[in-house]
Structures are given as structure tokens and as C-alpha cells.
């Protein structure tokens, strides 16, 4: 069975609450922030009654609604009812004029006629409808967010070494022998500013120091500052497990333009890093 089909098979096994958690995570990674999971209990995967299932507050004051379902039978009727409820101000307390988009995530099948009918019902109200079915979600997980496959489906697509900043912090904190790095660093603003300037000039920064001085905490706060200054910046952290990185590189960059060029570049960088580290180690040993 191909990876894509294995992901689809795992998705079809999900219960409603687990599917909703996955979709919330997926949408958040796609840039939908200020998330409010109205249809979920806070600390479990159990769903609750509410419309919409999830609410995203946009910077411009508009709202994005999302609805999720694992229902297979009479799917079109189910989604039409969900959309109708989204436009019911008595249920949501929000006027339809304040809604910019409705996102639907589902695992069943829709015909072209059904898709067009659902989209037309939203277009009449000048609201964008985004339909994300089984194929759309599974391919996005495979090509863009493989970490979701391991976290929500129990299916590892990579070695788990190339992580987003938040995933890196969570993974790092699971080690009982390390100090958590989910807090802000204090009294290092000058060092952060100097490091940003060095990166602007040289595109490379080596953070060194004795064990326990806070190198990882400093680095995490540095990249978070970079992301704050440039929200479009994508940052990946390397959680070294000693395994070959090529699977992770393929998983994260295979869907992007120029992916072959980027993979070759990353492979060259890895080889260069190993050579450089060997050189530094040899020099240190000779010097000592």
C-alpha cells in the first residue's frame, strides 16, 4: 500500500473528535490562527454541540467558520445543514456579513453537482466556501505536514528530526534530563539583536558554550524573534537522532517549487556540516 493510501486508510478510521483535533491542527499550521474549538471539550477528544465546530478570528475583524464531519451517508445534505446553521445568527450570534469564509473538512464523497450547489449557497452571501475532502487532506499531510501523520494517525512518515519551532519545543521538553525551553529568555536582548545582525550579514550563526548555559533556549528565542519580524519566514529545527535526514527533507520539501534543487542544496549543506564538524574536532584534538 502506498503512503498516500495508508494515510487515507488511517483517516477513514478516525472518530469525529479525533478528526476534529487533526483538522484544527492542520488549519492552524496553514495559517488560521486565533482558534476557538467550540465543538470540542477542552481536554478530551469528545465533541460537544455548537455551531460552528471551530471559529477563527481574523485580524480584519471578520470570522472564519469551520465544520468537520466523518459522516459518509447523505453527506451533501449534512453539509448543507451545517452551512445553513453557520448563517443562522440566532445560533452563532454572528451576522453572515461578518463571515469571510466557511471551511468544510470531510471524509466522504461529493459529486460535482453537490459541490457546485454548496458553493453557490455561500456565494449568494459573498462568503467563500473551502471544501477539503479525503484526498485534499491526505495529500497535504503527506507533502506538507508529515508530522500530523505521526501525531494524529500513529503513522510516521519521516524520522522526526526536522520540526517546526513549536514541535521542537514540545519534543525537547519530553526529555526528563533536559530543562524545558518553552519560556522566554531574560536579559539577552542585546545578544539577540547582535545575532540577528550577524545572520543578516553572514547567513550563518554558530551558538557555542558550555553545557547547561542555555544555548538551545537562546536559539529558540532567536528564531521566534525572526519569525515575529518576518511572519512569512518558515523555520525548521533539527532534533538530532543520528539518522539520515534525506527522508525528512523529502517529506517537507517535495511539494514545493524547485524541490529537487532545494533537496540537493540541503544534502550538500549536511555533507558540508559533517566535514566542518570533523575538521573542528580534528583541530581541537590536535591542539589539545
Per-residue pLDDT of the chain (288 residues; tens, 9 = 90+): 688 899 999 999 999 999 999 999 999 989 898 899 887 777 677 788 889 999 999 999 999 999 999 999 999 999 999 999 999 999 999 999 999 999 999 999 999 999 999 999 999 999 999 999 999 999 999 888 888 998 899 988 777 787 888 888 888 887 776 777 887 888 888 999 999 998 888 888 888 888 888 888 999 999 999 988 988 888 888 887 766 666 677 666 654 444 444 444 455 555 555 555 565 555 544 443
Q: What is the per-residue pLDDT for 280?
A: 52
Q: What is the per-residue pLDDT for 288?
A: 37
Q: Which three cell numbers stand for residue 9?
A: 486508510
Please choose, from the candidates 4, 85, 1, the residue with its C-alpha nearest in 3D space to the C-alpha of residue 255. 4
Q: What is the per-residue pLDDT for 284?
A: 47
Measured CA to CA, the distance from residue 79 to residue 65 in angstroms comes to 13
- Beta-carbon count within 10 A of 170 CB: 15
Q: Which three cell numbers stand for residue 121?
A: 449557497
Contact 102, 83 (CB under 8 A): yes
Largest CA distance in the chain: 77
Q: How far is CA 49 from CA 15, 173, 205, in A?
A: 16, 34, 50
Helices and strands, counts by H and E, the chain: 12, 7
Please choose, from the candidates 248, 231, 252, 251, the residue with its C-alpha nearest in 3D space to the C-alpha of residue 239. 248
Q: What is the per-residue pLDDT for 282?
A: 57
The stretches of 144-188 forming alpha helices (DSSP H) are 146-153, 165-173
The DSSP symbol for 215 reads H
Q: What is the per-residue pLDDT for 166?
A: 86
* CB burial string 182-219: b at 16+ within 10 A, e below: eeebeebeeebeebeeeeeeeeeeeeeeeeeeeebbbb
Contact 99, 63 (CB under 8 A): yes
Q: Which three cell numbers stand for residue 232?
A: 512569512
- Beta-carbon count within 10 A of 124 CB: 10
Measured CA to CA, the distance from residue 147 to residue 160 in angstroms comes to 7
List the beta bridge partners of residue 68.
Answer: 105
pTM, to two decimals = 0.66
Q: What is the per-residue pLDDT for 257?
A: 41
Domains of the chain: 3-153 (3.40.91.50), 162-287 (no CATH)
Q: What is the per-residue pLDDT for 68?
A: 96
Q: What is the per-residue pLDDT for 39?
A: 75
Measured CA to CA, the distance from residue 162 to residue 65 in angstroms comes to 31
Amino acid at each position: 500500500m502506498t503512503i498516500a493510501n495508508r494515510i487515507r486508510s488511517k483517516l477513514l478510521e478516525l472518530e469525529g473528535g479525533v478528526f476534529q483535533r487533526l483538522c484544527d491542527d492542520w488549519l492552524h499550521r496553514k495559517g488560521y490562527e486565533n482558534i476557538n474549538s467550540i465543538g470540542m471539550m477542552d481536554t478530551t477528544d469528545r465533541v460537544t454541540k455548537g455551531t460552528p465546530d471551530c471559529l477563527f478570528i481574523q485580524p480584519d475583524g471578520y470570522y472564519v467558520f469551520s465544520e468537520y464531519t466523518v459522516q459518509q451517508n447523505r453527506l451533501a445534505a449534512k453539509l448543507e445543514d451545517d452551512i445553513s446553521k453557520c448563517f443562522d445568527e440566532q445560533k452563532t450570534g454572528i451576522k453572515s456579513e461578518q463571515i469571510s469564509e466557511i471551511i468544510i473538512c470531510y471524509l466522504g464523497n461529493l459529486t460535482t453537482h453537490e459541490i457546485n450547489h454548496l458553493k453557490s449557497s455561500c456565494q449568494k452571501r459573498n462568503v467563500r466556501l473551502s471544501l477539503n475532502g479525503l484526498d485534499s487532506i491526505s495529500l497535504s499531510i503527506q507533502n506538507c505536514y508529515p508530522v500530523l501523520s505521526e501525531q494524529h494517525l500513529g503513522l510516521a512518515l519521516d524520522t522526526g528530526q526536522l520540526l517546526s519551532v513549536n514541535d521542537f519545543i514540545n519534543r525537547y521538553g519530553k526529555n526528563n534530563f533536559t530543562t524545558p525551553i518553552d519560556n522566554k529568555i531574560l536579559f539577552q536582548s542585546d545578544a539577540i539583536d547582535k545575532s540577528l545582525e550577524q545572520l543578516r550579514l553572514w547567513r550563518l550563526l554558530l551558538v557555542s558554550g558550555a553545557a547547561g548555559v542555555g544555548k538551545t533556549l537562546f536559539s529558540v528565542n532567536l528564531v521566534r524573534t525572526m519569525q515575529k519580524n518576518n511572519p512569512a519566514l518558515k523555520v525548521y529545527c533539527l532534533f538530532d537522532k543520528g539518522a539520515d535526514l534525506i527522508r525528512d527533507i523529502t517529506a517537507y520539501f517535495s511539494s514545493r517549487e524547485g524541490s529537487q534543487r532545494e533537496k540537493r542544496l540541503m544534502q550538500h549543506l549536511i555533507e558540508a556540516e559533517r566535514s566542518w564538524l570533523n575538521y573542528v574536532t580534528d583541530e581541537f584534538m590536535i591542539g589539545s
